[in-house]
Chain A
Amino acid sequence: MRFFENQPAVTNAPEGRVEGVAKVTGSGKYAAEYHAGNMCYAVMAGSTIASGTIKSIHTTDARQVAGVLDIITHTRKPLVPGMADAAKIKESRFGLPVFHTDNIYFKGQPIALVIAETLEDATYAASLISAEYTTTEAKVDFDKAHAAVPLNAAGKERGSADAWRDAPYQSEAEYTIEHEVHNPMEMHATIAHWEGPDKLKLYDKNQGVNNVQRTFARLWNIPADNIEVFSEFVGGGFGSGLRVWPHCLAAIMAAKQVNRPVKLVLTRPQMFLLTGYRPKSWQKVRMGADAGGRFTGLLHQARHSTSVYESFNDGITRISRMVYNISNVKTEQATVPLNMSTPTWMRGPGDCSGAFAVECTVDELSYQLKQDPVALRLKNLAITHDPESGKPWSTHYLNECIEKGAALINWQQRKPLPGQDKEGDWAIGYGMATGMWNAGRGNASAGITMQRDGAITVKTAMTDIGTGTGTGIQNIAHEQTGIAKNKIKIELGNSHLPPAPSQGGSTGLSTISGAVAATCNALKQKLAGYAAAQDDTYKNAQAADIVLSDTGISWQTAGNHFIAYTSLFEKNNLTTVEVEASSGPGAERQQYAFCSSAAHFCRVKVHTKTGKVKIDKMVTVADGGSIVNEKAAANQISGAVVGGIGMALMEEQATDQRYGSLIGNDLAGYHFAVNADAPVIEVAFINKPDKNINPSGAKGLGEVGIIGCAAAIVNAIYHATGKRLRSLPVTPDKILLG
């Protein structure tokens, strides 16, 4: 644990990102920006119905467009061994068996893929594709469909419902959240290049290159090593890049079909359709408290949408089992199949939806109890032990987050009753809520190449989807080795680099920090091995005995038994020194429970005549363990809060119940928060290390910034207006008529 003892302060200096210059100058390439020799372009055409089967597809007109090379459909395609028959398709768990079925599961489902010399040719030809279908009734009305779906237990019931049936304070209500769509700035895109009959190169937008590599090794029945996946720069993911989507397989099939490299870039409307979304949900929460404000019972039921061709479970009620000490907890869930594409994890998956309902319920109880929402939460937090596993939290500072946030937003100015604070026609309100997320860690590898001048390159297959992973790695490597940051280069997002899991679920930095620390130690050991040939002191050295600098190696203290790298390289006839090491979670996972958390505070102004909501200020205080890079970490949180504002006030992917079509599926029609909607967002951290989770002490931060955020805003709207709004998004009409 030298990491904590030696250099706790250096980590906090705000600084730019390692990839910043490459990004702003355009030299950093996103998937669709690569070029392969003799490359051609593919564009998908979608079904015009939402449910049924394809009778025939008409490609004649499209084929006549100049430049068209071929058109793939379910009846004309290259063999994908892993999808050779129905059993294999099922076994593949790939999701939509694109171009391998005549079944139509949702409107816009790709039915044909035009491959042409230019994007323009392919786009125009795809517009000429038509099909005849046998149409069956589509089910897209979640509100209508969900009530008929029985709920199943989600986790073991704690205590019993009888125990709190007569709780003196109770809140019971239903909550709904509309479909929401990730919409990263960068479109999903794949360039597929078969360099040989069983050798594949992919430039692909995703959140995990090894996941893509494994998926296609299975589907094409070729060794994983024969597939190289590049995803060096990623323009946002938010969960949409955690799965391998049909368009990626489509590009590879196209490249096989025409035996040329093929580029396939989704259009923005296709981004709403083919790369997942947060499912629409219904929740019912009943919560009870005793006269002193201790929570005595919680019933949390949730149903959310999924597709008809596979089941996706978002885990909405999970949050109910981890935040508060409650003796009696029952959680139930169900998924509701609709004729839509499959939803997926979207920032703060499950917990984000669940926290909206639960944190609004807690707020409602606070008014019933006439207790301050801050005090009520502090009283009930499960701050020492995880109520689910019974294990002690390794570290858990949600109480401190709440206290710090309350101070930052000046919570004591809040009037206890709703509707008391007015500025002309504007009603002012304060609201708060909490968020939590399991702090995970996976197994990962990293490697280092050292040059004779002491410059090192740290490498891992992990992607950086904009979270600052590369910058974090540089900071950690600097602290572990003592080598100056300007001599540390980072290589990421290539499946041929040391393997790492996908970047998602707030595990990226937690996971990779262990691997980086391990490979830094491996470097020290290896250098010590070379040094031992010159100086016996270094014999049997442990990594902890080694001190590195920009110029050379020392024993225990800087300068002691110093040997310059140049001398080591020369004596051992080296051009570079290469090391690789792996690291993952261990016994600490048996001993402790791990979590990240955040407290959100909002001051809002609501126009009482027009329903217009202006968020005056947001404060979010997060416990993410040690903050490895404050600038990137704060950026994560403020970005998540902007997402929370969108969730609370405007994000809604509407659907037409008759046609199964998405409504307004582009960036003009689907509203997420823009700068004018985002106020000053004040972000603060507890910044205390979790010494058990990994060598950096950092817990994940990606999710907690949004979990609970919408509840804080809606609770503030209640405080301003006295209107308890339980359906997201809270658009002006809901406030006006609420």
Chain B
Amino acid sequence: MNNFTYTTAGSITAALQHTKRHPQAMYIAGGTNLLDLWKYNLLHPQTLVDLNGVPGYHTIEAKEGGGLQLGALVTNAATAYHPLIEQRYPLLSKAILAGASAQIRNMATNGGNLLQRTRCYYYYDGDVPCNKREPGTGCSAIKGYNRIHAILGASEHCIAVFPSDMCVALAALEAVVQITGQQGKRSIPFADFHRLPGNAPEKDNALQAGDIITSIDLPAKEFAHHYSYLKLRDRHSYAFALVSVATALELEGNEIKEARIALGGVAHKPWRIPEAEQLLQGKPATAESFAQAADKLLEGAQGYPHNQFKIELAKKAIIRNGLMALHPETQLPGAQPSA
């Protein structure tokens, strides 16, 4: 760990001024990923700007006309257990609690959750090529041990996946990311926030240098009655998803009025295919219907020697989670939503 200077920011404006003067500076909030990467000798911040003291972003507020505003500095744990989230957006609560560990969720912030780097083994091993870590060096995963890697939307330059659980639910809920940058405020729909690797896998998302996420806005549609988050993994807690599915349904009787399905653990971003969701409109909520949507979601999927199984696993998970969404009350609390 290199020596560095540390400064606290009292406001967004002050933080932005600091990074304008020191373009190499990095922000820190929960630090749950940044410190790992630093200790693994992958990041070497010269200057840290601590955002935790910036007032105004530590609360969850109901918005007029529906929807919620999640402050970027609210912790993942506080969000998951917030009454407004538990009651109105239970899918988000379930997804958050399926991720990480209690200790990490207590530290990690909502803004930071969106900015996690991949857990690709080769990204973490500074001795071997990785286009995400050192653009142009090559991808070690494509011909390596690629068990946890992408089956959708990957490129010849990178097959890493984005590891967040929370973001899979945010994608399904069509959240909007509020940002303040050097040029002022702007918002990015969740589907456009994270990006596919293409030929620039070093870039995970649409943020520009200096940008600060200030809040994540949930639209009025809550999907509080028919939802489920299924996370399949190698152990039942504290493991990243092999495949995860966030399903939110609006039903009339057994007929699907609207469906949202987002996949985690399969791509460089939470994976949604609007056509797959449209396929479900007006269909009965049955295994057969979900199977059709699953096929659509997995169209073009490409496996590698160690993760070929994910294609089949993802399809089965989508079907199972669709059926689970019909009866969310059968889910156990906490980290075992798939029981």
Contacts and interface: CB of A to CB of B under 8 A. Distances in A.
Interface of A: 48, 107, 120, 123-124, 127, 425, 607, 609-612, 614, 649-650, 654-659, 661, 663-664, 668-669, 671-677, 729, 731-733, 736-737
Contact of A650 (B122, B235, B317): B235
A659 B141 CA distance: 12
Interface in B1-52: 1-3, 41
A657 B309 CA distance: 21
A732 B145 contact: no
A733 B242 contact: yes
B313 A663 contact: no
Given A664-B124, A674-B238, 8 more contacts: A124-B2, A610-B317, A659-B140, A663-B121, A668-B238, A669-B121, A676-B336, A732-B242
B320 A677 contact: no
Interface of B is mostly: loop
B119 interface: yes
A666 to B, nearest CB: 8
Nearest to B338: A612
Contacts of A729: 234
Nearest to B339: A614
Contact of A610 (B41, B240, B313): B313
A609 B119 contact: no
Given A48-B127, A610-B313, A664-B121, A675 B232 contact: no
Contacts of B312: 736-737
B293 interface: no
A218 B121 CA distance: 41
B239 A671 contact: yes
Contact of B128 (A127, A425, A611, A659): A659
B125 A661 contact: yes
B309 A733 contact: yes
B137 to A, nearest CB: 13
Interface of A is mostly: loop
A669 B235 CA distance: 11
The 6 residue pairs across chains A and B that have the minimum distance between CB atoms: A676-B236, A733-B309, A676-B237, A48-B127, A671-B235, A663-B121
Contacts of A607: 320
Contacts of A425: 320
A425 B230 CA distance: 15
Contact of B235 (A124, A663, A677): A677
B232 A658 contact: no
Nearest to B334: A676
A138 B186 CA distance: 52
Contacts of B336: 676
B234 A120 contact: no
12 contacts: A607-B320, A610-B313, A656-B121, A657-B144, A658-B140, A659-B127, A668-B239, A668-B240, A674-B236, A677-B237, A733-B310, A736-B313
A675 B127 contact: no
A651 B237 CA distance: 14
B319 interface: yes
A143 to B, nearest CB: 13
Interface residues of B, number: 38
B203 interface: no
A661 B234 contact: no
Interface string B53-90: 00000000000000000000000000000000000000
B140 A656 contact: yes
A665 to B, nearest CB: 9
Given A656-B144, A671-B234, A674-B236, A124 B1 contact: yes
A556 to B, nearest CB: 59
From B41, B145, B230, name the one whose CB has the most chain A CB atoms within 10 angstroms. B145
A609 B316 contact: yes
Nearest to B144: A656
A183 B239 CA distance: 17
B249 interface: no
B335 interface: yes
A732 B140 contact: no
A731 B128 contact: no
A658 B129 CA distance: 12
B232 A612 contact: yes
B3 A674 contact: no
Contact of A732 (B234, B238, B240): B234
A732 B121 contact: no
Contact of B335 (A663, A672, A676, A733): A676
Interface string B101-122: 0000000000000000001011
A611 B313 contact: yes
Nearest to B2: A124
Interface in B283-339: 309-310, 312-313, 316-317, 319-320, 335-336, 338-339
Contacts of B237: 674-677
Contacts of B319: 609
Nearest to A675: B237
Contact of B147 (A614, A654, A736): A654
A676 B313 CA distance: 21
Contacts of B121: 656, 663-664, 669
Nearest to B238: A674
A663 B127 CA distance: 12
Given A650-B235, A671-B239, A737-B309, A120 B127 contact: no
B167 to A, nearest CB: 18
B232 A731 contact: no
Nearest to A66: B3
Contacts of B316: 609-610, 736
Contact of B309 (A609, A655, A674, A736): A736
Contacts of A671: 234-235, 239
B204 to A, nearest CB: 19
A731 B143 CA distance: 21
A661 B127 contact: yes
A658 B234 contact: no
A503 to B, nearest CB: 29
A131 to B, nearest CB: 11
A45 to B, nearest CB: 11
Contacts of B119: 668-669
Nearest to B315: A609
A616 to B, nearest CB: 11
Nearest to A664: B121
A658 B143 contact: yes
Interface string B143-159: 11101000000000000
A120 B1 contact: yes
B337 to A, nearest CB: 12
Contact of B145 (A48, A610, A649, A654): A654
B122 to A, nearest CB: 8
A650 B147 CA distance: 13
A406 B145 CA distance: 41
Interface in B172-221: none
A93 to B, nearest CB: 30
A656 B235 contact: no
